[in-house]
Amino acid sequence: MDSPDFVPHPVISLNMSSAADSDNKEIFTENLLECLNVNAERHNLSLRYSDPGNAFSSLIKDTWKANGKKVVLLIDEYDAPVISLVQRDKHIYDEILLSQTRGVMLRFYTQIKFSDQYLEFVFITGVTKFSRLGLFSQLNTLVDISLMPQYAAFMGYTQDELTDNFGDFITKSAKKFKINESELLLKLRDYYNGFSFDGDTKLYNPFSINYFFLNNKFSNYWFQSGSEKIIKKFLLEKALTVDQFQDFEVDAHFAENPGEIDTASPAGFLYQAGYLTLRSKGDGQYALDYPNLEIRQSLSSLFLQNFNDSPENVAKAGRELVRHLATRDIPEIVNVFSKLLSGICYDDHVAAGRAAQDGSLDTVVRRAIGIDFPIDAVRRLSAALAEKIIKEQGESFYRSILHAGLWTAGAEVTPEKHENIGRLDLEAVFGGITYVFELKMAEDVIGGPEAARAGMAQIRDRGCGHASDRPVLVSLAIGRKERNIVSCIFEMDGQETCVLPERYWKYLEVHRKSSL
């Protein structure tokens, strides 16, 4: 297809993140004016107003007059000033400042419509749907291209673009890692590919790919471009786990309207933040999933850090698991997870879970027992129900820790995988080795071996792992009292082995003697 002749135009480029995190309206206004002033100086102009809206409008017109051509307007992270306020900690959250910021931004962006005769092209990016923040209510000429198939490859590198444009870098990196180029491309795909705007076209994150070739190192570059502190806090407050959004089904309405960033569902929030992406399931149906290994590692690390005092301990656990998974060293794998669990304050998760459930449980209980029932009684009943749910979800919590740890190490993990006979808790593939995990809860260390045996029997009865070559079967027993692994049975190459953490030996010995 013939393309029109390219004619250069003057550009105004605004990165609105530079005006984010303002502590009051005056500072926000100053930051916004500075963002405009950078563009004015580029075109040898001066701002003529102290009000951001008027300054923006005059800058567009003055740039047109100075260059004799219509202006190209590029706005990146248009919603950053609002999002930075919405996601603040509760003790510094300021509803008045949020309202003032929205007001300034609404007047600011309205100038685009009033300056239409001076604009050649406008391109705007951001996390949230512009229709949801109400910042463009006067600008009805904008077209949302987020889910349009013809633009699906617009905001990232496709596989063909990677191989066609980074040939020299690919060759250099393959030599550095002492692998062939095909192997390197497969590894790059697993680590950095997978973002999708239409559910079908998969893209590489340019930021991560560029940094990979700059450093020649497989590393987590996502944290350098994202807001990990916000996501970490969100996971804790909502009592979210890493496995609950894997292959999470949504419809086309969700894809088009995931909700406002400050009131969106957890799935909508993580989707708009880039931690989840679309996968088409056909017939207008979609699923959310994690794009790639980099994102899975990022979210898993944040999840584990919420329950561990030291981020360094989480990173160390990931490195140790890489080594032990590669050598099928089950006792050491158990040891790593045992240390991770030892550093977890489980009460924090229980409190978060209760806070996330209490409001909805109050509603459920009130509907069940009658709208006129005393509120104190409703709250007592909902609190008791919350306690019951949390107790029954104990196994789910520990499974999430196991899942997150394996993801942090780079394993491919499938939770509650369906096989021809039944379901298994977790299947993890690492370096071509398949691990099948089953978790069982025991009341304490005394009941640990029996629970572990029950788990192994369940693995065998279901025929789990038989579809894989030489699978490693692992049954873990978690003690409710100890809040840690109290027993493990694993089968490898047809041989069964029992593992008991050393610190529990004395308890079992005392129990054995008292039973004689």
**Secondary structure of 460-491 as H, E, C letters:** HHHCCCCCCCCCEEEEEEEECCCCEEEEEEEE
- Is the Cβ–Cβ distance between 271 and 188 less than 8 Å? no
Is 351 a residue whose pLDDT tops 80? no
Rounded to an integer, the average pLDDT of 307-333 is 88
Is 5 a residue whose pLDDT tops 50? yes
Q: What is the pLDDT of residue 456?
A: 93
Is 358 a residue whose pLDDT tops 60? no
CA gyration radius for the chain? 27
d(CA 428, CA 432) in angstroms, rounded, equals: 10
Q: What is the pLDDT of residue 46?
A: 94
Which of 158-167, 175-184, 266-275, 470-479 shows the lowest mean pLDDT across its residues? 266-275
d(CA 422, CA 416) in angstroms, rounded, equals: 9
Helix (H) or strand (E) holding 287: strand 285-289
Q: What is the pLDDT of residue 242?
A: 82
d(CA 423, CA 465) in angstroms, rounded, equals: 10
Rounded to an integer, the average pLDDT of 492-512 is 69
Phi then psi for residue 301, to 5 deg, are: -65, -45
d(CA 197, CA 129) in angstroms, rounded, equals: 13
Q: How far apart are the first and last CA of the chain?
A: 88
Q: Where are the beta strands (DSSP E) in 290-384?
A: none
- The listed range with the strongest mean pLDDT (208-212, 232-236, 458-462) is 208-212
Q: Which residue has the tokens 């995931």?
A: 258
Helix (H) or strand (E) holding 135: none
Crossing angle of helices 394-408 and 330-342, in 10° steps, is 120
How deeply is 68 buried, as exposed, middle or buried, from its count of CB atoms within 10 A (0-12, 13-18, 19+)? exposed
Query: What's the chain's average pLDDT?
Result: 81
At residue 350 the predicted structure's pLDDT band, cuts being 50, 70 and 90, is low
- Is the Cβ–Cβ distance between 36 and 45 less than 8 Å? no
At residue 342 the predicted structure's pLDDT band, cuts being 50, 70 and 90, is confident
Q: Where are the beta strands (DSSP E) in 333-471?
A: 412-418, 423-430, 433-442
- Is the Cβ–Cβ distance between 403 and 243 less than 8 Å? yes
Other beta carbons within 10 angstroms of residue 228's beta carbon come to 17
Q: Which residues contact 170 (CB under 8 A, 6 or more apart)?
A: 162, 163, 181, 184, 185
Other beta carbons within 10 angstroms of residue 388's beta carbon come to 10
Is 371 a residue whose pLDDT tops 70? no
